[in-house]
Structure formats: C-alpha cells, structure tokens
C-alpha cells in the first residue's frame, strides 16, 4: 500500500470518526432536550399550509362542545387533527376550553393547551399537569373517564370541566376517526 492510499484512508477514517462523535453527541442531546410537538408547531405549520382545512364547527358531544376542528400537518409532514373544545363546567368553576392536537393516524395526544378557564377562582394552572395528558393514545371514547387527572390540586370543579373537555375530544376522535368517519 503506497503512502497516498494510506493517507487517503487515514483522512476518511478521521472524517468518519468526527462524524460519528458529532452524531452521538446530538443523539444524546436530542433525547435530553426533547420537547414533544406542541401547539406552536401545529399553528405555524397550519398557517403556512394552504391545505389547512376547517372541517366542522360546534359539534355537541356528551361532555362538551367541539367548537372547531382543523386538519393539518406537523413539521415532519405527519397528519394531525386540531380540536378546539369546550368542556362542560359547573359552579364555582365555569367551562374549560382547550386546544388539543392529536396524531391523526395513531390517536396520540401531541399537545394540549388551555385557552379559556371559565371560572373566576383565580387558580394558576400548571402547564405540567396539562402536559401529563400528552402521549395518551385515544383508543376509545372513554379514555379520559377517570379521576386520575387533576388540572391543579384543590381545583376540583375546574378539573372536572377540563376532564369533560378531554372526554369530548376522545369521543369526537373515536366517532370520526377511529370508527371510520373520516379515515
């Protein structure tokens, strides 16, 4: 093997080694700093895509009203469904309005954001509590029908209204996407 070939092999090996180190570093950091896709990402994509379509409005479900439905794509091109939902509320807390983004094919909740809290009890709701709903896969209309979720410790009625909104989401998705309504 002459010097030129040896030099070329050495050069390629060094380039490959640096690439592997860089990729490994980024893979680790990607896991550490991973943020689930949220509403901003959806909003941005939805606004930039002409294919962003409003499907229906004001659909009454058992536990709330699906006020607006939009279909769009995430930045990676995967189809998602965005629901603007008002969950039934009761005194002293009012209704609870959320925007929920669902992966169209799998039914996974990708993002949840509180838009309106109808109550006037002055709770500062923790985003982390709402974020705990992310990752749940809607595989039936009663997936959120449990007492496990609290929107804020002590906020019993708001929690109920929020859970109602999520149940309306699950019911809508189940009827329209899982049972073959729009798929």
Partner 1 sequence: MKTRDVAVNGLIKENAVFRMLLGLCSILALSNKAINGLGMGVAVTFVLVCSNVVISLLKRVVPNKVRIPCYVLVIATFVTVVELLIKYLSAKSSAIAQIGDAMGVFLPLIVVNCIILARAEAFASKNTVGASAIDGLFVGMGYTIGLTLLGIVRELLGSGSIFGLQILGGFRITFFSQPAGAFITYGLLICLFNITYEKIEQNNANRKRKASVTLSNQVTEEGAVNG
Candidates 1, 5, 9, 10; binder of partner 1 (CB under 8 A) is: 10
List 11, 48, 90, 179, residue binding partner 1 (CB under 8 A): 11
Q: How far apart are CA 145 and CA 89, in angstroms?
A: 15
Residue 164: CB atoms within 10 A of its CB come to: 24
Considering only residues 29 to 48 of the shown chain, the ones binding partner 1 according to CB under 8 A are 29-30, 33-35, 38, 40
The DSSP code for 178 is I
Which one of residues 2, 5, 9, 25 is an interface residue with partner 1 (CB under 8 A)? 25
CB of 30 to partner 1, least distance (A): 6
Q: Which is nearer to partner 1, 14 or 105 (CB)?
A: 14
Using rule CB under 8 A, residue 115 touches partner 1: no
Least distance between partner 1 and beta carbon 123 (Å) = 20
Q: What share of the chain is helix, strand, coil (3-state, %, to 5)?
A: 35, 25, 40
Q: What is the DSSP string of 80-130?
A: EEEEEEEE---TTS--EEEEEEEETTT-BEEEEEEEEE---S-----HHHH
- Positions that interact with partner 1 (CB under 8 A): 7, 10-11, 14-15, 18-19, 22, 25-26, 29-30, 33-35, 38, 40
């Amino acid at each position: 093997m002459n010097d030129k070939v040896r030099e070329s092999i050495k050069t390629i090996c060094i380039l490959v080694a640096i690439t592997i180190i860089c990729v490994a570093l980024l893979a680790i950091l990607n896991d550490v700093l991973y943020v689930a896709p949220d509403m901003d990402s959806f909003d941005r994509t939805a606004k930039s895509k002409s294919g962003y379509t409003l499907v229906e409005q004001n659909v009454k479900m058992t536990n709330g009203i699906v006020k607006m439905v939009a279909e769009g794509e995430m930045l990676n091109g995967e189809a998602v469904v965005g629901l603007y939902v008002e969950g039934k509320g009761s005194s002293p807390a009012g209704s609870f309005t959320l925007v929920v983004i669902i992966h169209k094919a799998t039914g996974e909740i990708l993002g949840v954001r509180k838009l309106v809290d109808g109550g006037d009890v002055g709770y500062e709701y923790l985003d982390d509590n709402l974020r705990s709903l992310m990752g749940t896969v809607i595989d039936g209309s009663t997936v959120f029908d449990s007492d496990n979720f609290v929107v804020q410790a002590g906020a019993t009625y708001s929690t109920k209204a929020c859970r109602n909104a999520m149940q309306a989401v699950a019911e809508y998705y189940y009827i329209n996407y899982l049972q073959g309504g729009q798929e």
